[in-house]
């Protein structure tokens, strides 16, 4: 038996949004039937927008101050108003599954218990994802729920990249570099297909941001670590930070574990630097009048360029850099800043193509191909979910 032609509903929660999609999966390809997102706006307002394939049906309206725990219900209500087929399974993006949950898997009560135990590894993301899973189970009680992990793509990293410089007793507890945005990276490798070069760097740039070194389609190094807080400066997260600062704040700054967690995950990054916003679009608008906003943008670009150079070292050179994620796909200024900083290694973009945001933005003289590709995390979740169902059906038939 095969799930070819199956309809899969996907949920992809971020730190401030919930993306969703309804896909028909057949022969390892996906056809989007409906895609959308619920995202927070200024002042705590929440907005829902969605469209069917080719835009034949479209919604875009405010949900007021709708609490995150109600968002799944709004998606279900939206689906009920369409004439689209009901899903046979629901796939979920899980940022972290800890040391024991890496491959896509059907969600059981035991899996939920495991996720509860590792929620501190991604405290911004896992609780929200668990709430979405439980809501989806209530709304779709007869649909298998599938967990797809951002960490899975990075399981191929060698020990020199995945091992943290900690005592063995701590490393034995699962403290290591896991890496994130793996579903995005997988989708980029899938889109490149036969054009995947030997040495590829993927820069997933959004409110959360990471850079991954990929050799022959497999992750060998990445900027994030045990949690999604490390690496690049991000919208609200610090990125890499001298651990001594955290010790100082605990000892002498009056911080607790809770307030420190809020500081590094919600109050820092470009928001903390600028004092204006975490959204790069708003920072760009404010930069000419507010030096702190301009500084935040410059620091983000500097952090990105350093990490791209570091991943080039991990690969022993680079053949292609792909920019993806909300910032990577839409902010020409960030791409130009990164390319200019890497001119010493032969990176050169075509300014007109960069502003136009076409797929290939490298100039004719560039020794490194520069591409802009959309992250297709939701389609990747649908593909993994269908594969899990197929594997379960094959095992049932074989048994």
Answer yes or no: are the C-beta atoms of 325 and 302 closer than 8 Å. no
27's CB contacts (< 8 A; 6+ apart) are 4
Using alpha carbons, list the distances in angstroms from residue 233 to 25, 81, 288. Answer: 36, 41, 21
Q: Angle of helix 126-139 relative to helix 109-117, nearest 10 degrees?
A: 160
Helix segments in the chain, DSSP class H = 71-80, 109-117, 126-139, 159-162, 168-171, 182-192, 243-252, 257-266, 269-274, 280-286, 291-315, 325-330, 332-341, 351-356, 377-398
Closest to 27 in 3D by CA, of 49, 44, 6, 12: 6
Tokens of 394: 């094959």
Ordered strands of the 320-324 beta sheet? 218-222, 209-215, 199-205, 320-324, 369-372
CA distance 357 to 247: 43
Tokens of 66: 């709708």
- Under DSSP, the state recorded for 359 is S
Ordered strands of the 105-106 beta sheet? 58-64, 46-52, 29-40, 17-26, 6-13, 89-94, 145-149, 105-106
Does residue 150 carry a catalytic annotation? yes
Q: Of the residues 109, 113, 150, 242, which is catalytic?
A: 150
- Give exposure, 246-255, as e/b (b: 16+ Cβ within 10 Å): beebeeeeeb
Closest to 313 in 3D by CA, of 114, 109, 160, 192: 160
Q: Point out the residues that are catalytic.
A: 150
């Amino acid at each position: 038996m095969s799930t070819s032609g199956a309809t899969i509903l996907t949920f992809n929660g971020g730190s401030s949004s919930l993306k969703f999609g309804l896909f028909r999966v057949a022969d390892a390809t996906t056809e989007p039937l409906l895609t959308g997102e619920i995202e927070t706006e200024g002042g705590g307002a929440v907005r829902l927008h969605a469209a069917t394939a080719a835009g034949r049906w479209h919604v875009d309206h405010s949900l007021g101050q709708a609490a995150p725990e109600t968002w799944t219900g709004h998606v279900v209500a939206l689906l009920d108003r369409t004439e689209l087929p009901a899903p046979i399974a629901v796939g979920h993006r899980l940022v972290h599954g800890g040391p024991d949950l890496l491959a896509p898997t059907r969600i059981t009560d035991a899996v939920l218990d495991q996720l509860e135990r590792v929620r501190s590894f991604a405290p911004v993301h896992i609780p929200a994802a668990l709430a979405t899973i439980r809501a989806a189970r209530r709304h779709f009680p007869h649909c298998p729920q599938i967990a797809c992990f951002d960490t899975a793509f990075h399981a191929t990293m060698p020990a020199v990249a995945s091992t943290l410089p900690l005592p063995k007793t701590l490393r034995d507890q699962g403290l290591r570099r896991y890496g994130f945005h793996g579903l995005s990276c997988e989708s980029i490798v899938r889109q490149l297909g036969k054009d995947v070069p030997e040495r590829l760097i993927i820069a997933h740039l959004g409110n959360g941001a990471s850079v991954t070194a990929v050799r022959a389609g497999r992750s060998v190094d990445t900027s994030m670590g045990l949690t999604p807080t490390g690496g690049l400066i991000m919208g609200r997260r610090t990125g890499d930070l001298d651990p001594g600062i955290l010790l100082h704040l605990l000892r002498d700054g009056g911080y607790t574990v809770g307030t420190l967690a809020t500081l590094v995950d919600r109050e820092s990054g470009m928001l903390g630097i600028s004092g204006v916003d975490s959204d790069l679009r708003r920072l760009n608008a404010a930069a000419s009048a507010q030096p702190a906003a301009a500084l935040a943008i410059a620091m983000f670009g500097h952090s990105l360029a350093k990490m791209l150079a570091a991943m080039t070292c991990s690969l022993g050179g680079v053949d292609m850099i792909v920019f993806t994620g909300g910032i990577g796909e839409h902010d020409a200024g960030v791409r130009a800043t990164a390319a200019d900083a890497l001119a010493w290694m032969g990176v050169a973009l075509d300014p007109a193509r960069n502003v136009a945001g076409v797929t290939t933005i490298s100039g004719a003289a560039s020794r490194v191909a520069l591409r802009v590709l959309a992250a297709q995390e939701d389609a990747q979740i649908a593909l993994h979910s269908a594969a899990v169902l197929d594997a379960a059906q094959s095992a049932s038939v074989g048994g």
